[in-house]
Amino acid sequence: MDTLNPVEARVLGALVEKDLTTPDYYPLSLNALTNACNQSSNRDPVVSFSEEVVVRGLDSLREKKLAFMFQGADSRVSRYGHRVVESLGLDRPAVAVLCVLLLRGPQTVGEVRTRTSRMHEFQGLEETEACLALLASRPMDPLVAKLPRMAGMKEQRYAHLLSGPVSVEPSAAVPAAEPAVLTVRFENERLEKLEAQSQAMRAEVDDLRRQLTELRKILE
């Protein structure tokens, strides 16, 4: 499976979370999904995505068969959902674990158990760790990795691999994420594309003006 960029990972995690915690409001409208991505609680890092950024993430997730768009006959509003279960072959406990890792970054077993409680109730740390181990031991496509123990920490953490291998130095501290850094980067990319399009249009206008000048000279 192609790796996910940070926007895709956040969008996918938000879709999964709302599916498991608020099924009556799922699939999600674009506005609801954008709000879910930008929640200030239960998110690390906290971001501020525009709807345009979320749409680009959705489009690429749909290409990777991890998301879908639905529009009912009685509604003009498009709604979006995930295909994690079908595409990755996961059960509810594994989906809940993956969701927490997508939305909150690397977690200890205890953190995973606590933070999945609204999506799936693990009976204890052993059951939680067993689920993580299964995700990490998938023969062809492991989805989770156990990270080296960091200095000053008693427990090791787990991270998802949907965005590629995770490299963490055992003695390194995890830097705090700057809020909205991801948004700035993707908005910069969007502005660069718009600037390129604008330059191309200006070139076309200049060429049309030149042709019009030449035509006037011929008619005179």
Domain ranges within the chain, ordered by starting residue: 6-160
pLDDT at 171 over 50: no
Top-tier CATH class for 6-160: mainly alpha
Percent of the chain with pLDDT over 70: 83
pLDDT at 172 over 80: no
Q: CA-CA distance, 68 to 79, in Å (whole number)?
A: 8
What are the contacts of 161-170 at 24+ separation with CB within 8 A? 162/1, 162/3, 162/4, 162/9, 162/12, 162/98, 162/102, 163/3, 163/4, 163/5, 163/6, 163/9, 164/3, 166/106, 168/106
Give yes or no for a contact between 110 and 129, defined as CB atoms under 8 angstroms apart.
Answer: no
Picking from 137-146, 155-164, 199-208, which range would have the lowest pLDDT averaged per residue?
A: 199-208
pLDDT at 183 over 90: no
What is the arithmetic mean of pLDDT over 83-111? Answer: 97
DSSP 8-state assignment for residue 23: G
pLDDT at 179 over 60: no
pLDDT in tens, 145-158: 999 988 888 899 99
Confidence of residue 198 (pLDDT cuts 50, 70, 90): low
Picking from 81-85, 102-106, 114-118, 182-186, which range would have the lowest pLDDT averaged per residue?
A: 182-186
What is the arithmetic mean of pLDDT over 103-108? Answer: 97
pTM: 0.75
pLDDT at 197 over 70: no
Q: CA-CA distance, 101 to 33, in Å (whole number)?
A: 18
Q: What is the separation, in whole angstroms, between the first and last Cα of the chain? A: 64
